[in-house]
Amino acid sequence: MLAPERLAERLLPWFDSHNRTDLPWRRPGTTAWGVLVSEVMSQQTQVARVAPVWEAWMERWPDPADLAGAPTAEVLRAWGRMGYPRRALRLQECARIVAEEHGGEVPADPAELERLPGIGVYTAAAVAVFHYGRRHPVVDTNVRRVVARLGGEADAGTATSKADIAAAEALLPRDAPTAARVSLALMELGALVCDARRPECGACPVEDVCGFSGREVPAGPSRKRQRYRGTNRHVRGEIMKALREADGPVGRERMDAVWPEAAMREEALGQLIGDGLIETDEAGRFKFPS
């Protein structure tokens, strides 16, 4: 495998020509807060769905203090149908802490970032690297796959381990700004070239030093598309949609019409109330938190 500095020499010219500059949070001038918002939104949602929501969100709440002071009901409406709306609540909690305890400045230290609600190792490293240019391994599924294949493995398993993080860090040059660009380049390589099932080895800038190049990808277990319709997630989504589209609190009759099966509907309602995503008023109607 190439030494980190040599890897950078190969990888960065390719990255300069192929990185996805159309992603709005990669535009010059994007703040650390904008990067953090993009990473939280992208945790369980495809980038293509995130981009328009992120742009509208940042136009409305460009700084942590703006989001911190927003009505929670409006935050949940703005989240739309990106799924897993508890992320919106955690993002608003992050905004309050950043505004109140950090003077509105998103921390640069990953350890400090990890103390924020809903911010794990990956997201903390991503903000530290992609905005502040720090030298930290940023390891998502794509990076794990690229690093494993460079070492001759077909894949890196099902979950990020300390070994995965250490292997990625070993590929980073000592110079922090260069290392930050290499981190992003490894991610782009995995997303655009080193595909899980159909890697385009001929288009890879490090094909000749890759321990996996040219080998056949193992078939692996079949990946059936996860069913959504008729699941608990589906019911929860329909309830949230009804509340987003309503002008005010939603009465029991309207809520009963959201889903015909009472047991599933009541289970979903109970979960959403328990998660703090909806609440009831004095009349027993359902609404978003104020």
Instruction: List, by residue range, all CATH 1.10.340.30 domains of the chain.
Output: 31-130
Q: Which backbone phi and psi does 62 adopt, to 5 degrees?
A: -70, -20
Q: Which two tokens stand for residue 75?
A: 């935050």
- The active-site residue, picked from 5, 9, 39, 112, is 39
Residues of the chain with pLDDT under 50: 222
Q: Give the C-alpha separation, 49 to 216, whole Å.
A: 32
Residue 39 annotated among the catalytic residues of the structure: yes
**Short-list 43, 40, 92, 87, CA closest to 63:** 92
Q: Give the C-alpha separation, 264 to 115, whole Å.
A: 35
220 backbone φψ class: left, alpha, beta (φ>0; ψ -120 to 50)? left
**Short-list 216, 221, 203, CA closest to 149:** 216
| DSSP class per residue in the chain | ---HHHHHHHHHHHHHHHS-TTSGGGSTT--HHHHHHHHHHTSSS-HHHHHHHHHHHHHH--SHHHHHTS-HHHHHHHHTTSS-THHHHHHHHHHHHHHHHSTTPPPSSHHHHTTSTT--HHHHHHHHHHTT--------HHHHHHHHHHTT-S---SS--HHHHHHHHTTS-SSHHHHHHHHHHHHHHHHHTS-SSS--GGG-TTGGG-SSTTPPPP--S--PPPP-TTSHHHHHHHHHHHHHH-SSPBPHHHHHTT-S-HHHHHHHHHHHHHTTS-EE-TTS-EE---
At 219 the pLDDT is 66
Select 31-130's CATH number: 1.20.20.10, 1.10.340.30, 3.40.50.150, 3.40.50.170: 1.10.340.30
Give per-residue pLDDT as tens, 189-198.
Answer: 999 999 988 9
At 21 the pLDDT is 80
At 236 the pLDDT is 96
pTM of the model as a whole: 0.91
